[in-house]
Structure 1
Amino acid sequence: MKPAVALLFPALIALCPADTIRLRNGTDLEGVIVSEESDHYVALVQVTKSIRDQRKIPKADVIEIVGVKKDEVAFEAIEKLTPTPDLLGYEEYERRIEDTEEFISAHSSSKLTRDAVKILAELEEEAKVVKAGGVKFNGKMIPAEERAKKAFSLDAQIAASAVTTAGDAGNRTAALRAWSDFEKEFPTSRAFIDTKPYVIKLMKSQLAAIESELATFDKRTKERADGIERIPTKDRARTEKMIQEKSDDYLRIVEAEKKAQIRWLSLDPYHKAPMTQMKSLLEREIKRLEGLSTSSLPDGDHAWEEAWTVLQGSPTKEEAKAAITQARAARLPKEYLDRLEAKVPQ
């Protein structure tokens, strides 16, 4: 076998769909037939996920070779394009539609084409809604008209979902940063009331983690220093340099976050000051949120919908002015007030 050809075989088995080689002893081998002689096959067999083995398989031992159909392999790439995730943009819909159309065109006689057509129809229907200004959220398509009417409430729910998604994934710092942005924009939304208990629990979890790190800080730093001392002299300087570079990188990140006025700083178990700062901030925020009565907050969701409904009609100047006044009283953010005022009859 030529060396150049041999070098291509690993790539070949990685790219080609595997055949199933069924032997008379009951064994099924997954691999790629790379050549055939009069009395045997040469196959690259996937022994484990990372190990491939080239084997000569006597034809007398083979019952049948079942090839993977190209349409089945190709369909695997599009069958998970639906259901689509929330908040998918129109450009991504276009990409998914194009991929599905390519499958239908290339495999028009496949029994899977009917399923592909259903996928395409679903994608096109949703894309039409999104292009018109709608959105998918909580698994439901929300048309543009309904989205506009519930803009404040819906935007608040979307912003709140960024908090819970990051928190559920275990990224508490990202969740707290998302909460800061959310609270700044939507403090009078129902989503704020619904999300507050989650955030308090999240903050308490973060506080406990920081307190644990601080309690073991001296022991941990001493253990690291002792470990460095045990490293052979020729390698110690390199290790110390790597640790110092990592520390410098972290401090640069924290400094940049402070300049950007990010409240919730990145944390490192070997830097005490940021952890202490975040501990104090968490204690204050937990106390503030636990003492915050949401029953006295204005209903921003209702105020937006009421004002939008009034301004969508043919209101008098007095009715329009009253709607805007009500929206201001509900402490809607400037962005939403501007959108309402733009609809006031001139």
Structure 2
Amino acid sequence: MPETKNYYVGLDVGGTSVKMGLFTEDGELLAKHSVPTPPLIDAAGYAAVTGGIEQLVGKASVAILDVKGIGAAIPCPVPADGNVKLQANIQLDVPGLSEALLARCRNATVKVENDANAAAMGELWAGSARGNRSFVFVTLGTGVGGGVVIDGSVVSGVVGAGGEIGHMSMNPDETRVCGCGGRGHLEQYASATGIVTSYKMECAARGVEPVELTGTSDSRSVFEAAKNGDEAAWAAIDTMCDYLGRALALISSVVDPEAFVLGGGTSNSSDMFMDRLVERYKSYALAVCTETPIEVASLGNDAGIFGAAYVALQAAGK
């Protein structure tokens, strides 16, 4: 009898597309596919995803009955019990989607996870955090997200707020309001949006015009301006490093991770800010935590599909 192989599918459900990956138990990526994100609230929407999975496994000539786990990374807080109560910017019926996946892939275990937490698990399985048992993943994009991994498992929390690093209150005197309704949150200073806002404020304070920006989260142009000697841009980067360094220091005193891993689009400019960030982190951290490494994620946009597949593999008991 030939040896039966087990395969795992990772779904990264975004606002515009559902990215998919097919993996072996060892984390080898066999095939990728994507479909436009439909409203995942009815049979037509579910069929778009299950049909995409059929195309995915077909690319690798794998039988769909050999898929033993399907993980779905979604942009919502996912409590430990999996009962999603809060959704934003997406139409998603989690129980309905799960049932549809189970109906089409009868031998699979289905697991839903927050997208940032899933990305953290992807880095643990096959990325920069491979070999660690505990680390903190920080996504620096339009906002700031994260995932806390302890003893090989992601911390979701009772209401799914585990890893919501971007909403740590860092400045109680801040008058501007965060997107969540709070004030002075890390996201307001360390996200791509926060960097652009700080840059504009620094330009206004200096009485100079900012460089041309393509949008409210175009931090790439701010980093380019810094390369060209723009002092306001460097001031915005310093603000980002100071707040993020202090946040990581606070986290280190609670979690004491083996490493911090930075992902998201802003991490692509780490060569511009990493030395400053490490210096600020060390200045704030408890003495015994100052040598905790701060690294850059390696899986890029594939972290979500890797992590979704990995949480499915874990749920299946492998």
Q: What TM-score do you get using the length of structure 1 for normalisation?
A: 0.24
Relative contact order: is structure 1 or structure 2 higher (C-alpha 8 Å, sep ≥ 6)?
2
Structure with the higher helix share, 1 or 2: 1
> Larger Cα Rg: Structure 1 or Structure 2?
1
Structure with the higher strand share, 1 or 2: 2
